[in-house]
Structure 1
Amino acid sequence: MSVPGCITMGGKKITGQNAAGKPNVIVILADDLGHADVGFNGCKDIPTPNIDSLAKNGVRCSNGYVSHPFCSPTRAGLLTGRYQQRFGHECNPAWLPEDTNVGLPLNQVTVAQVMRDAGYVTGAIGKWHLGAAPCFHPNERGFTEYLGFLGGGHMYMPGDKGGVEYTVPVLRNKQPVEQKEYMTDLLSSEAASFITRHKDKPFFLYLAYNAVHTPLQAPEKYLNRFKHIADEKRRTYAAMNSAMDDGIGLVLKALRDNGIEENTMVWFFSDNGGPPANVAPTNNSPFRGHKGNVYEGGIHVPFVVQWKGGLPRGKVYDEPVISLDVFATAAALAGAKVPESHKLDGVDILPYLSGERKGVPHDVLHWRSGGSGGKWAVRQGRYKLVKDGTAVELFDLVDDVGETKDLGAEKPDIVKQLQKLHDAWNAELIEPLWQNPKRAVKKAGRK
């Protein structure tokens, strides 16, 4: 039963109801953030009070995963709720504005489309990286509003020189606009504005920061907070992370100021683990590996869900969940209809996080990178089978989260069982529709 100004969840009144009586959903995606580079995962040198507040006021998923160890494929899985390898989006797309084949396949339904059809205002802000051709534009994929850049990254400072992809104009919908401030600040301000503009309607907001992805760039106002960090790269990385945390604080303030925080579900996670030290000074502790690996360091990310009106506060949920779950959870929350032909791999995790449902959301989770002959991993319960190089290794993630001891020789039956699960799943997939772009020569700019 609902009453004016609130909705109910398990008998609890939720304030901040919009005209349709539906909860809002915000997905905040960091880029290349190290697992241990947030306070709630033990970071000591970079305060992240606003990100930490999501864990304090929501549910921290200690086994939160993404569906791929790098950028674009994770985003394809997130927005479709399906393992992206099912439809060939297994590599990063090159910057090819004329190519209508390199991008999120047009036969795939996005969460934005089903939320829009359920009466939601849908907004995307920030990094897209799902195809540069006009047919792949966010406005064509279910988002009613967009502000951001279509490539895999961007220069942070207005007017900075770089490769073509990293210096394309910022777009408001399909029109170029001038970038007048630090990119992270611009995206955060736009997110707060979106919330205020649509406070009286149900909305779905996808806020995809390019922070803390390279290039490592930050203005003095953020760098000055970290004079105590001697390493220049780590100092700049810390400043970038702090700017993103400030921005998330701005988003949360907009929710509070407009009286809709309790009625808004907020997700936060990274698109993959932090890259290796020669790229950026990230910290993926206590995990092995980094961005690009299917060891935990590449796919096990900071992951939290806050919904003050419907979820416990300060809870830690230990069963594995994955970014693919956003679609199913948001659609269930909105009462949105998912086309029968669009078979989701993600599940509605709300009843698990709330404690209403026991058991596990996923019996098995899978990863693959580089096609059928590339890297892969499968996790069932405490055991994970990994092929990240030439060897197939078995790890017990309960006793050995750092994946240091291969148990394959000791537990051949478990190896056989997990190999069989992987082989069955792998048989359902297709090969990548394109390959990762090659590094361009310096003169040609970044690809």
Structure 2
Amino acid sequence: MKFGFLRLVFVLGLLGSLCSGTASPPNVIIFYADDLGWGEITAQGFSRDIPTPHIDSLAKNGLRFTNGYVAATYCSPSRAGLLTGRYPTRFGHEFNTVANAVGLRADQTTLATRLKALGYATAAIGKWHLGNQPENRPTKRGFGEFYGTLNNTPFFHPTNFVDSHLSNDVREVKDDAFYTTDAYADRAVDWLDKNKTKPRFLYLPFNAVHAPLQATKKYLDRFPGITDEKRKTFAAMMSAMDDAVGRVLGKIRELGQEENTLIFFISDNGGPTQSITSSNGPLRGFKMTTFEGGTRVPFIAQWKGKIPAGKTYDLPVMNLDVLPTAIIAAGGKPEVSWQLDGVDLMPFLTGAKNSRPHQTLYWRYGPQWAIRHGDMKLVVARGGSGQPELYDLAADIGESKDLAAAQPTKVKELQAMWDQWSAEQAPASAPDAPAGNAKKNKKKRVN
């Protein structure tokens, strides 16, 4: 009798422990690469000259999205969409911020603010690019700690650098041994180690592999077989970023929290192939275009025991989905008043829902625009004909066979849908600097 009672107590205690562990909010980590093309990481199966074992491990232990998109074709608006869960055009964030003048609009609430309200420790480590003004810096937008640059700067001696541990003053790093990618990994690992009493949200937006192409000898020496200097330096930068991802993953494992950590790896936009060699694989276009090469990006999610491992997901998703997915995983409940465009991905990834997360996706970037409805895409993009072009992405991932002339009714239907959506968007809050105006606005624009 006594033995039976003790066994009952043990079982109840074990169940309580398991329930308690299950209820513990997961850590959330977002690795956000800069200008990394869809074809680059080896898990995608196109480029083989740059090993990325740590990023690939996320795909092996998690899920790779073959139709993962971002809501904008370049840096700042992509980040604005990620951290708000809303199309950045809804609040005027159509183009890059203008240094010291325009940033993320004050009435937009970030994922960091929402997770902080749920009891999370929050940190942004890397390239911010959502406003240089004091009121727009990460520590004013929900992050308890910021270590990084306010916009894009060199990898050595970065300018616009802030370490909120020391002060909120902007400075240039003088240390010759300082290399941003390595330094961000150092701080991220340290921060994870020092904030063990709370669930943690780590946002790590690398400035790799954005120009300028700069790398340390340590990483350059890994690629003796690459003779093209531009490609070799790019490879070294990729390898450094992969190492940084590996160090963060290693710390999570060391802390015994891999099963309780939701991780995303995403690029902010497609690769600008000509300038840095970043490959978009078979996709047409590149950064700053609304062809697939500008908007479809490497996109991986890992949450051991929750997200199926080693699988691919082929229906379209967007970086806007990260916020509601993270909030619900953390035990929160998105409110209608948030007016989110993203959706919680977990029911789709676990098979609880078999429908599409999004029937329709939209883009607007000045005179360039696109709509994807099902597998049909209508697009006006730089490098195209100047007229709406229609593609069946299920059969033509490279957007090479324009069906507009053969399917005028479909063109009219998608044009009307995009026109209605575009009319709901806000006017741009900063001037544009796309291809034709880039030189004219060069001094004002921080890319």
Select the residue among 415, 418, 427 that pairs with 1:419.
Answer: 415
Contact 2:84 2:111 in 1 (8 A): yes
Which residue matches 1:58? 62
Partner Cα separation in structure 2 for residue 35 and residue 258 of structure 1:
32
**Cα distance, 1:398–1:441 mapped onto 2, change above 3 Å:** closer
AA at the equivalent of 2:30: V
1:261 aligns with 2:258: yes
Contact 1:229 1:235 in 2 (8 A): yes
Select the residue among 405, 408, 411 that pairs with 2:404.
Answer: 408
> 1:108-147: CA deviations, max 9, x gaps?
1111111000111111110000011111010111111111
**Deviation of residue 3 (structure 1)?**
4.8
1:84 aligns with 2:88: yes
1:177-216 map, 5 Å: 178=173, 180-216=177-213
Select the residue among 368, 376, 396 that pairs with 1:375.
Answer: 368
Select the residue among 161, 164, 167 that pairs with 2:159.
Answer: 167
Which residue matches 1:398? 394
Which residue matches 1:386? 379
**Deviation of residue 200 (structure 1)?**
3.2
1:19-418 map, 5 Å: 21-42=24-45, 43-96=47-100, 99=101, 102-151=102-151, 153-158=152-157, 167-172=159-164, 174-175=168-169, 178=173, 180-277=177-274, 279-370=275-366, 374-389=367-382, 390-418=386-414
**Cα distance, 1:195–1:339 mapped onto 2, change above 3 Å:** same
AA at the equivalent of 2:147: L
**Cα distance, 1:444–1:30 mapped onto 2, change above 3 Å:** closer
**Cα distance, 1:441–1:406 mapped onto 2, change above 3 Å:** closer
AA at the equivalent of 2:133: A
Contact 1:148 1:172 in 2 (8 A): no
Partner Cα separation in structure 1 for residue 154 and residue 17 of structure 2:
43
Q: Tell me which moved more, 431-440 or 82-91.
A: 431-440
Partner Cα separation in structure 1 for residue 196 and residue 371 of structure 2:
41
**Deviation of residue 336 (structure 1)?**
2.2
SS in 2 for 1:332: helix
Q: Tell me which moved more, 188-197 or 377-386.
A: 188-197
Contact 2:54 2:243 in 1 (8 A): yes
**Cα distance, 1:143–1:5 mapped onto 2, change above 3 Å:** farther
Partner Cα separation in structure 1 for residue 254 and residue 188 of structure 2:
14
AA at the equivalent of 1:182: Y
Contact 1:30 1:270 in 2 (8 A): yes
Contact 1:272 1:291 in 2 (8 A): yes
Partner Cα separation in structure 1 for residue 297 and residue 332 of structure 2:
28
Contact 2:26 2:329 in 1 (8 A): yes
Contact 1:117 1:336 in 2 (8 A): no
Which residue matches 1:161? none
Partner Cα separation in structure 2 for residue 446 and residue 394 of structure 1:
33
**Deviation of residue 307 (structure 1)?**
0.3
SS in 2 for 1:420: helix
> 1:346-401: CA deviations, max 9, x gaps?
0000111122211110010001101xxx1110001111000114110000001100
**Deviation of residue 193 (structure 1)?**
1.4
Partner Cα separation in structure 2 for residue 429 and residue 446 of structure 1:
24
AA at the equivalent of 2:117: D
Contact 1:255 1:261 in 2 (8 A): yes
Contact 1:440 1:446 in 2 (8 A): no
AA at the equivalent of 1:392: P
**Deviation of residue 341 (structure 1)?**
2.5
**Deviation of residue 445 (structure 1)?**
11
Partner Cα separation in structure 1 for residue 35 and residue 226 of structure 2:
20
Task: Give 5+ residue unaligned stretches, structure 2.
Answer: 1-11
SS in 1 for 2:301: strand
Which residue matches 1:11? none
Contact 1:67 1:74 in 2 (8 A): yes
Partner Cα separation in structure 1 for residue 17 and residue 314 of structure 2:
34
Partner Cα separation in structure 1 for residue 319 and residue 186 of structure 2:
25
Contact 2:125 2:147 in 1 (8 A): yes
**Deviation of residue 412 (structure 1)?**
1.7
Contact 2:60 2:310 in 1 (8 A): yes
Task: Give 5+ residue unaligned stretches, structure 1.
Answer: 9-14, 159-165
Aligned residues: 422
SS in 2 for 1:27: strand
Which residue matches 2:8? none
AA at the equivalent of 1:90: E
Which residue matches 2:9? none
**Deviation of residue 4 (structure 1)?**
5.9
Identical residues among aligned pairs (%): 48
Partner Cα separation in structure 1 for residue 182 and residue 352 of structure 2:
38
User: What root-mean-square deviation, in Å, do the aligned CA atoms of Structure 1 and Structure 2 show?
Assistant: 2.1
Which residue matches 1:162? none
Specify the structure having the higher radius of gyration (Cα).
2
SS in 2 for 1:226: coil
**Cα distance, 1:87–1:226 mapped onto 2, change above 3 Å:** same
**Deviation of residue 280 (structure 1)?**
1.1
SS in 1 for 2:146: strand
**Deviation of residue 227 (structure 1)?**
1.1
